[in-house]
């Protein structure tokens, strides 16, 4: 992936925008109505030059030491590199990039090629007391790559892993692949695909995130029901820490004390740099089937997805939109289009039968060998129909699959017009799902009310497990242009407090970063945090690794 083809202050490729096409005018009108906004003026983001970071604080002598390890051309200190690496893609990050100021700017970016170079960089950083922020794709939406300096640190480096992108080996018999951790999603799947395999981990950030980041943040792909979350796919890892190399064996299971793989997964760069990972791989699926169902109510839909998961139907993806999300996406997809007479009649009939406003949409994706897919489609359809659903075929499923990485592109044109959008997610047990859903919705709406703003709060259930599921919220609201950050913090705090109070986890798959630190402490407890801190200190006694993350 050529980094210079990326937007430095927004999502994805620089030459790509979310194609609104003929829907544009209708969308702006719809949003102005829904959010009670008088105007949606275009406000351009600030230029890169306007960031004008202060000069790099990295001493020349240290830069020279780093250059001796990776080559001078792989130690970068120009403003573009420094700014690009100083923010991820969280709301906070993007506001900082677009409006400024950046809370901190990294002093240099180093691009090692392998484990040994990473080890030598960490040795230099440890010797000189410099912070090191591991950076994969930089797609963190929780502030995971923000370059904070630790106490007494004169400067902070960003360690970009993107040159470490080799497929090291494939074990066909054991169905594992060992890869360097800086490899991006598409390249990883391309290299595995040449040998007939897939990893199957496809988060929404797939095109712009890396293997190491997926593991370090305990990510989950959209097909995690079928392939497993990143932590479950991890079969072994090599981590370069300031105290040396940590290597796990590659065992299918073992009973030899705490499972260090599950400590590395979630370490968020605060213990070391994941340089290589051995992942479980699978034969490429013969068939993919994505299709939709309409339910009369949220409760009926939740019962159906719970049944599908608890009965062990081998699905890959599920996504159950709540009434507001169902309504929003229904409206969004028909914006600016003239509906045919037949379609209007169909909608009227559905509405009369109870599938109109208040109804919910479920997407079920199934991947694998043909016989498995056919069987699982039949079983999931039977369950859905048993809960009163109407199967609506594969049309909506195919559209979702084709556009599954597109949504993040929508944020930039919305921000251009003063419309803020952010997402957050959590997970809980099935029995607690309703309480958590209501709690977070009410918290967000309450916070918007208290600001005298109208907003949209959309939600879906995804990533089902036998014992519970994830809840994913999208909230859209009129941006306060005078202090967008303070406004966002009020909303984020309201939602996060509600998650904590309603016994949800503060993150199902986005990680902790800087945004969730406060609630991490509540979730893990004082003793849990003491354990995490002890882990960090044992391998990073001088606090070199990703200062300010995971432990304070």
Q: Which of residues 515-534 bind a copy of itself (CB under 8 A)?
A: 516, 520, 523-528, 530-534
DSSP 346: H
Region from 104-112, 193-201, 307-315, 475-483 binding a copy of itself, contact rule CB under 8 A: 307-315
| Contact between 550 and a copy of itself per CB under 8 A | yes
| Contact between 497 and a copy of itself per CB under 8 A | no
Region from 28-36, 96-104, 403-411, 505-513 binding a copy of itself, contact rule CB under 8 A: 505-513
Question: Among 306, 316, 128, 294, which Cα is nearest to 220's?
Answer: 316
> Taking CB under 8 A as the criterion, which residues in 440-469 touch a copy of itself?
463-469
Q: Which is nearer to a copy of itself, 95 or 469 (CB)?
A: 469
* Least distance (Å) between residue 121 CB and a copy of itself: 17
Q: Which is nearer to a copy of itself, 404 or 509 (CB)?
A: 509
Q: Which is nearer to a copy of itself, 402 or 537 (CB)?
A: 537
DSSP 13: B
Please spell the DSSP secondary structure of 289-322, one letter per residue. EEEEEEES-HHHHHHHHHHHHHTT---SEEEEE-
| Contact between 490 and a copy of itself per CB under 8 A | no
Q: Which is nearer to a copy of itself, 158 or 267 (CB)?
A: 267
The sheet carrying 131-135 orders its strands as 75-76, 108-110, 156-160, 131-135
Query: Residues 39-78 vs a copy of itself: string with x where CB under 8 A?
Result: ----------------------------------------
Q: Which is nearer to a copy of itself, 100 or 244 (CB)?
A: 244
Question: Among 280, 279, 289, 281, which Cα is nearest to 317's?
Answer: 289
| Contact between 378 and a copy of itself per CB under 8 A | no
R_g of the chain, CA atoms, integer Å: 23
Question: Among 433, 402, 486, 236, which Cα is nearest to 320's?
Answer: 433
| Contact between 175 and a copy of itself per CB under 8 A | yes
Q: Which is nearer to a copy of itself, 193 or 525 (CB)?
A: 525
Query: Which stretches within 202-289 are classed as H helix?
Result: 211-216, 224-227, 230-233, 261-264
Question: Among 321, 267, 319, which Cα is nearest to 298's?
Answer: 321
* Least distance (Å) between residue 444 CB and a copy of itself: 21
Residue 263 main-chain phi, psi, to 5 deg:
-95, -40
Q: Which is nearer to a copy of itself, 246 or 396 (CB)?
A: 246
What's the CA gap between 186 and 392, in Å, rounded? 31
Distances (CA, A) of 181 to 37, 115, 121, 168: 45, 10, 16, 10
Region from 8-16, 108-116, 335-343, 536-544 binding a copy of itself, contact rule CB under 8 A: 536-544
* Least distance (Å) between residue 122 CB and a copy of itself: 13
What's the CA gap between 71 and 112, in Å, rounded? 9
Using CB under 8 A as the binding criterion, the count of chain residues that bind a copy of itself stands at 89
* Least distance (Å) between residue 63 CB and a copy of itself: 29
Q: Which is nearer to a copy of itself, 365 or 413 (CB)?
A: 365
Q: Indicate the SS3 state at residue 275.
A: strand
For residues 302 and 361, is the Cβ–Cβ distance under 8 A? no
Which residue in 71, 193, 538, 552 binds a copy of itself (CB under 8 A)?
A: 538
Query: Residues 203-222 vs a copy of itself: string with x where CB under 8 A?
Result: --------------xxxx--
> Taking CB under 8 A as the criterion, which residues in 229-258 touch a copy of itself?
229, 231, 235, 241, 243-258
Query: Residues 358-377 vs a copy of itself: string with x where CB under 8 A?
Result: --------------x-----
| Contact between 539 and a copy of itself per CB under 8 A | yes
> Taking CB under 8 A as the criterion, which residues in 104-143 touch a copy of itself?
none
Q: Which is nearer to a copy of itself, 57 or 529 (CB)?
A: 529
Please spell the DSSP secondary structure of 422-477, one letter per residue. EEEEEEEEGGGHHHHHHHHHHHHHHHHHHTT---EEEEEEEEE-SSEEEEEEEEEE
> Taking CB under 8 A as the criterion, which residues in 408-447 touch a copy of itself?
427-432
What's the CA gap between 463 and 222, in Å, rounded? 8
């Amino acid at each position: 992936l050529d980094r210079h083809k990326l937007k430095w202050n927004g999502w994805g490729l620089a030459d790509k925008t979310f194609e609104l096409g003929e829907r544009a005018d209708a969308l702006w009108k719809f949003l102005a109505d829904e959010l009670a906004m008088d105007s949606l003026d275009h406000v351009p983001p600030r230029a890169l030059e306007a960031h004008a970071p202060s000069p790099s604080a990295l001493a020349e002598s240290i830069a020279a030491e780093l250059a001796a390890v990776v080559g001078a051309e792989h130690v970068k200190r120009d403003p573009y590199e420094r700014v690009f690496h100083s923010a991820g893609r969280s709301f906070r990050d993007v506001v900082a990039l677009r409006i400024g100021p950046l809370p901190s700017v990294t002093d240099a970016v180093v691009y090692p090629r392998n484990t040994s170079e990473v080890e030598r960089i960490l040795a230099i950083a440890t010797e000189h007391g410099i912070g090191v922020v591991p950076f994969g794709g930089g797609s963190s939406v929780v502030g995971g790559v923000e370059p904070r300096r630790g106490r007494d640190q004169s400067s902070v480096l960003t360690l970009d892993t993107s040159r470490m992108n080799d497929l090291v080996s494939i074990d066909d018999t054991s169905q594992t692949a060992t890869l360097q951790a800086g490899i991006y999603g598409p390249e990883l799947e391309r290299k595995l695909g040449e040998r007939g395999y897939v990893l199957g981990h496809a988060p929404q950030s797939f095109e712009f995130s890396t293997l190491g980041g997926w593991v370090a943040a305990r990510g989950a792909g959209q097909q995690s029901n079928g392939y497993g979350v990143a932590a479950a796919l991890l079969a072994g890892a090599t981590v370069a820490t300031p105290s040396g190399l940590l290597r796990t064996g590659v065992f299918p299971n073992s009973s030899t004390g705490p499972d260090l793989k599950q400590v590395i997964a979630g370490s968020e760069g605060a213990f070391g740099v994941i340089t290589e990972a051995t992942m479980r791989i699978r034969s490429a699926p013969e068939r993919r089937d994505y299709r939709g169902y309409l339910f009369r109510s949220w409760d009926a839909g939740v019962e159906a997805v719970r049944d599908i998961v608890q009965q062990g139907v081998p699905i890959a993806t599920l996504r159950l939109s709540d009434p507001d999300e169902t309504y929003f996406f229904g409206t969004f997809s028909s914006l600016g289009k003239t509906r045919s007479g037949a379609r209007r009649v169909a909608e009227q009939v559905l509405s009369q039968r109870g599938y109109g406003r208040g109804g919910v949409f479920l997407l079920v994706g199934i991947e694998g060998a043909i016989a498995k897919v056919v069987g699982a489609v039949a079983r999931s359809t039977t369950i859905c129909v048993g809960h009163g659903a109407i199967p609506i075929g594969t049309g909506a499923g195919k559209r979702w699959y084709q556009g599954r990485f597109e949504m993040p592109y929508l944020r930039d044109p919305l921000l251009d017009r003063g419309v803020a959008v952010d997402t957050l997610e959590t997970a809980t047990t099935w029995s607690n799902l309703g309480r958590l859903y209501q709690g977070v919705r009410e918290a967000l709406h309450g916070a918007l009310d208290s600001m005298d703003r109208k907003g949209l709060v959309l939600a879906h259930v995804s990533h089902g497990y036998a014992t519970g599921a994830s809840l994913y919220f999208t909230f859209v609201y009129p941006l306060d242009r005078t202090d967008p950050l303070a406004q966002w913090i009020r909303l984020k705090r309201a939602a996060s407090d509600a998650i904590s109070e309603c016994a949800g986890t503060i993150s199902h798959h986005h990680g902790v970063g800087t945004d969730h630190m406060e609630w991490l402490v509540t979730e893990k407890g004082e003793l849990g945090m003491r354990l995490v801190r002890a882990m960090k200190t044992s391998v990073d006694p001088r606090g070199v690794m990703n200062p300010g993350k995971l432990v304070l």
